[in-house]
Amino acid sequence: MSAQLIDGRGIAGQIRTEVRAEVDRWTAQGHRPPYLAVVLVGDNPASASYVRGKIRASQEAGIMGDTLAFGADVPESELLETVSRLGRDKSVDGILVQLPLPAHIRPDRIIGAVNPDKDVDGLNTINAGRLVTGRAGFLPCTPAGIVELLTRSDIPTCGQHTVILGRSNLVGKPLANLMLRKGLDATVTICHSRTRNLKALARSADIVVAAIGRACFVTEDMVKPGAAVIDVGINRVEDPSRTRGYRLAGDVDFEAVRHKAAHLTPVPGGVGPMTIAMLLKNTLLAAQRHTGL
Ligand code: BQF
């Protein structure tokens, strides 16, 4: 048996086309295009590349955007001031603070200063609370993207045992809450570095979500035959055959698990592109909600 690969790039492309169509409809009604402000701090090349990808995807969807770039030594107070100002700016619909931030900046302070109704990454505590209690807010992009991958691939979630490996505020915790919601109705277990019997728990799952940050963490013996396996990991693995010296790999031992699972997401081209697509969706939603305020 061989897993059906879930084409995240393709599904994300479909969502981006849908967003583009809705943005066109929105602007044809006389509204200005949605506007996304991205705050980038420091000179992490991966962060800069993620931000370029987000801005490019926004433009393709008809969303305007700009990057506010700061040096690695910017004072926290200056970032707080910038984020607060963007929150009051009527021409800005979405605010995204690219993570990670330099060590001297407290991320929860900066994210906490983002206007919750412009928090298109869905990461501040107001939106976390809205998610947990089932009220309208912004869903974090990666968990929202994972749910879209499942539903658009016709993978049922109702009553399905979903084992999430990783308890981060970015993926594990919000995804667990999302999967528990009415309509999705999954049964959720979150595992982490201190979990006993992690292998056995994973093996009992209908859906496994790997968000640990370690290449090849999920091995074949951790997957039930016929399970759906969602790989959130993005790890650099040394590969002398590549010109850049490395390749990207997920948290799943892809070649082994593909013979066991029924559905599997590749890395790259799985969850990653969905994160970007959901950011665009959230930015459009923010713009539409703002006119109702
Ligand atoms: C793909 C991210 C760790 C830390 C900070 C497409 C992205 C990634 C992969 C992307 C990520 C990961 C982003 C692919 C945004 C996802 O084809 O597989 C897109 O741009 N991501 C980020 O902004 O910050 C991160 C991972």
- Residue 160 is among the residues annotated as catalytic for this protein: no
- In terms of Cα–Cα distance, which of 9, 108, 90 is closest to 287? 90
- In terms of Cα–Cα distance, which of 152, 143, 228 is closest to 180? 143
- Measured from CB, residues less than 6 Å from any atom of ligand 1 are 50, 53, 98-99, 234, 267-270, 272-273, 275-276
44-59 per-position pLDDT tens digit: 999 999 999 999 999 9
pLDDT along the chain (293 residues), means of 10: 95 98 98 98 97 98 98 98 98 98 97 98 98 97 98 98 98 98 98 98 99 98 98 97 96 98 98 98 98 72
Pocket test for ligand 1, best of 99, 171, 275, 280 (most atoms within 8 A of CB): 275
User: Ligand 1: distance of its center to the CA of 278 in Å?
Assistant: 12
CA gap 276, 160 in Å, rounded:
27
CA gap 201, 203 in Å, rounded:
5
DSSP state of 212: S
- Per-residue pLDDT at 135: 96
- Per-residue pLDDT at 254: 98
Q: Within a 10 A sphere around the Cβ of 256, how many other Cβ atoms?
A: 16
- Per-residue pLDDT at 293: 59
Q: Which is the catalytic residue, given 7, 93, 119, 121?
A: 121
- Per-residue pLDDT at 1: 75
